[in-house]
């Protein structure tokens, strides 16, 4: 194949990619979103931002400059009740947070589309590095109103800044520095979480092992029909811990006791989202955060999520230090790579992948003289133990 032919083909591929970019659709100035972005009624945001005042509630904020005991208490409470909290006075240079938002925004807003497409990720493979628009591979579900750039940052063997945008000139340096700062903060937070649940300081980090870190910059263009769409569908993150910064445009929502709470952007703070493997390791005492992003008609929104995950080969199970006769294991162990495959093939659908690991505990009890066998099946859900008792006659009570 001659050079001319191959470059024509490339351009065709680029054009095919370009039609799927949400930013392209938004910039075309349409009044209605294409049907593939319309969520079914039960998934639509319950409170479109244009019509409702912000709810007074916000996730807890933990000040990391306080005494260690009070940090542990606050983090423990936030991890049990929310699975999400802000950290303030976290020690990450504020200028670096600003620069990370700024280089991310510059890629989406200043880089011309043909240049952006040079970094297009492989849309047929899950979590591939680069510029993308679709989280799940060919699953036929409703599309998110979002474009993103995913960077593979840790371990260092996965980090190749040549695959990241070269403009602005500080882009690659900022992402590399940001990656290192987030790793240190994630490790510090897992230490506080271990201590706050009564485990040895390094217990959760040891259970996770070496961090596999990805940094995803998400860009949500203004959407003409925010009441029908989601920037990012409801999910919990699959790894151990996610650290997220956002600009001053609201959009992140976390599920709390059945209500979607909009996380009010807090200047200089970092949002901590517990992810599924931490829920498994803590045997469900700490909960992963179910969250989503909503869109708005006025302003583009940017967020930067830094995911810290186990290696694909790592087996994750409830920590043995948290298991006893009165506190039986609630989850089956899982090889992390299998968890990821199932997440990408079945889709997140809230927390379905985590629920699939719940243990169904069967107790056989003999009730003395009549020697009748009772089968008690006890299943733990995020809302507590759910009891079903079945007698030998097979009636469910
Ligand atoms: O943009 C946000 O606020 C949420 C991003 C997120 O949840 C994710 O990338 O997993
Ligand atoms: Fe997420």
- Whole-number percent of the chain with pLDDT over 90: 74
Cα 85 to ligand 2 centroid, rounded to whole Å? 14
Of the candidates 204, 240, 236, the residue with the CA atom closest to the CA atom of residue 382: 236
**Nearest ligand atom owner, CA of 288:** 2
The total number of residues shown for the chain amounts to 397
The protein residue whose alpha carbon is closest to atom 3 in ligand 1 is 252
**d(C-alpha 215, C-alpha 305), whole Å:** 6
Longest CA pairwise span in the chain (Å): 89
Nearest-atom number in ligand 1 for the CA of 218 is 1
**d(C-alpha 87, C-alpha 292), whole Å:** 20
Q: Identify the bridge partners of residue 366 per DSSP, sorted by sequence position.
A: 373
Which pairing describes strands 252-256 and 212-220: parallel, antiparallel, or unpaired?
Answer: unpaired
Q: Is the pLDDT of residue 374 over 70?
A: no
Which pairing describes strands 301-309 and 232-235: parallel, antiparallel, or unpaired?
Answer: unpaired
Of the candidates 31, 194, 177, the residue with the CA atom closest to the CA atom of residue 95: 177
* Domain 23-359: assigned CATH number: 2.60.120.330
Map out the domains of the chain as residue ranges.
23-359, 360-397
Q: Is the pLDDT of residue 4 over 70?
A: no
pLDDT at 397: 27
**d(C-alpha 265, C-alpha 118), whole Å:** 32
Taking the model in full, what pTM does it have?
Answer: 0.87
The protein residue whose alpha carbon is closest to atom 6 in ligand 1 is 305
Q: Which residue has the higher pLDDT, 99 or 350?
A: 99
Nearest-atom number in ligand 1 for the CA of 231 is 1
DSSP state of 363: E
**d(C-alpha 200, C-alpha 180), whole Å:** 24
Could you report the per-residue pLDDT of 290-324, keeping only the tens digit for each? 999 999 999 999 999 999 999 999 999 999 999 99
Ligand 1 pocket list (CB less than 6 A)? 216, 218, 232, 237, 244, 246, 251-252, 291, 293, 303, 305
């Amino acid at each position: 194949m001659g050079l001319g032919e191959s470059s024509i083909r490339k351009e065709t591929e680029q054009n095919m990619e370009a039609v799927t970019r949400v930013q392209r659709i938004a910039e075309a100035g349409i009044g209605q979103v294409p049907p593939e972005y319309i969520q079914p009624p039960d998934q639509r945001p319950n409170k479109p931002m244009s019509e409702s005042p912000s709810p007074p509630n916000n996730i807890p904020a933990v000040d990391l400059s306080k005494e260690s005991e009070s940090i542990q208490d606050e983090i423990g409470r936030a991890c049990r009740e929310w699975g999400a909290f802000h950290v303030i006075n976290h020690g990450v240079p504020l200028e670096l947070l600003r620069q990370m938002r700024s280089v991310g925004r510059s890629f989406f807003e200043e880089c011309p589309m043909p240049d952006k497409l040079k970094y297009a990720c492989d849309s047929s493979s899950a979590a591939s590095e680069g510029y993308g628009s679709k989280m799940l591979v060919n699953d036929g579900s409703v599309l998110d109103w979002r474009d993103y750039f995913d960077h593979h940052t840790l371990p260092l063997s996965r980090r190749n800044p040549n695959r990241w945008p070269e403009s602005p000139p500080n882009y690659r340096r900022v992402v590399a520095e940001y990656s290192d700062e987030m790793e240190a903060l994630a490790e510090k937070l897992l230490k506080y979480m271990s201590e706050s649940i009564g485990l040895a300081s390094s217990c959760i980090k040891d259970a996770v092992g070496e961090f596999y870190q990805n940094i995803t910059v998400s860009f949500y263009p203004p959407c003409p029909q925010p009441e029908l769409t989601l920037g990012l569908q409801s999910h919990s993150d699959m790894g151990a811990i996610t650290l997220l910064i956002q600009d001053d445009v609201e959009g992140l929502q976390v599920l709390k006791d059945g209500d979607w709470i909009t996380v009010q952007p807090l200047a200089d703070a970092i949002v901590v989202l517990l992810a599924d493997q931490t829920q498994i390791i803590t045997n469900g005492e700490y909960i992963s955060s179910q969250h989503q992003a909503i869109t708005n008609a006025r302003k583009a929104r940017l967020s930067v999520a830094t995911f810290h995950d186990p290696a694909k080969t790592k087996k994750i199970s409830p920590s043995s230090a948290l298991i006893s006769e009165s506190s039986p294991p609630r989850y089956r162990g899982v090889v992390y790579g299998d968890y990821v495959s199932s997440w990408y093939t079945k889709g997140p659908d809230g927390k379905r992948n985590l629920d699939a690991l719940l243990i169904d505990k069967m107790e056989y009890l003999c009730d003395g003289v009549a020697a009748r066998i009772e089968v008690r099946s006890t299943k733990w859900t995020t809302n507590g133990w759910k009891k079903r008792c079945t007698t030998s006659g097979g009636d469910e009570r």
